[in-house]
Copies of this chain bind each other. A is one copy, B any other.
């Protein structure tokens, strides 16, 4: 029977998925280097051989988990940026960048694990971003459309740099203790505090006040 075959496959995919989520959480906590085979399998309730069986190696499992995390985050990011129009403000752009990160920070659990992993690989990026390069660059062009309209006269290269700066700041908040402190507050208040900072960084401040 075909349905029973699917059930069997589901059972197989269950330990496979368990390994992925366990890896995700450990990645977020200890980073790519600190990932241990026994830790992963114990957390997932699976045998050590399951990693070789389902993924081939621990490194392959790690890469798969990282790619999963990055794609989920990029999708959330692109969705938030899709609301931008040609005459969106810098503040709205900042919201588009901050919201996915902040929501995950407030949610905790797997969501938090994902953005932490994304932030970690922002420090030590894997050799090839593979098929996610497109989505990644898409976020940049989305941002650039608003920035060139709101900040004419500033070099496009410079605008890209500022975009990467605020992304870096958000990544830092995902990893460092200050982000955890921030996450204790209600989500809307987080955004209210953070967005002016991001928008200010994007706009820059040339003259001394």
Nearest chain B CB to A208 CB, angstrom units: 4
Name the distance in Å between A148's Cβ and chain B's nearest Cβ: 14
Q: How many copies does the complex hold?
A: 2
Interface string of A191-209 (1 = CB under 8 A from B): 0010011111111111111
Residue interface bits A136-158, CB-to-B below 8 A is 1, else 0: 00000000000000100000001
Number of A interface residues in the complex (CB < 8 A): 42
Binding site for B on A (CB under 8 A): 30-31, 33-34, 89-92, 122-123, 125, 150, 158, 161-162, 164-165, 168-169, 171-173, 175-178, 182, 193, 196-209
A125/B177 in contact, CB under 8 A: yes
- A178–B168 CB distance below 8 A: yes
The binding surface of chain A is classed by DSSP as helix
- Also in contact, A208 and B91, with CB within 8 A (given A122-B176, A193-B161): yes
**Which residue of the partner chain, among B173, B199, B204, contacts A168 with CB atoms under 8 Å?**
B173
Looking at A92, A150, A182, A199, which has the most chain B CB atoms within 10 Å of its CB? A199
Which of A89, A171, A177, A196 has most chain B Cβ within 10 Å? A196
Shortest distance from the beta carbon of A154 to any chain B beta carbon, whole Å: 10
A198 and B165 alpha carbons, distance in the complex (Å): 10
Partner of A169, one of B169, B193, B199, B206: B169
Q: Which residues of B contact A30 (CB under 8 A)?
A: 33
Instruction: Contacts A33-B33, A34-B33 given; indicate if A209 touches B168 (C-beta within 8 A).
Output: no
> Are B176 and A90 in contact, CB atoms less than 8 angstroms apart?
no
Contact B33 A208 (CB under 8 A): no
CB neighbours (8 Å) of A203 from chain B are 200, 205, 209
| Extra A-B contacts (20), CB below 8 Å, given A90-B205, A161-B178 | A34-B34, A89-B208, A90-B208, A123-B175, A125-B177, A158-B193, A162-B197, A165-B173, A168-B172, A168-B178, A169-B169, A169-B172, A171-B176, A197-B201, A197-B204, A200-B200, A200-B201, A200-B202, A200-B203, A200-B205
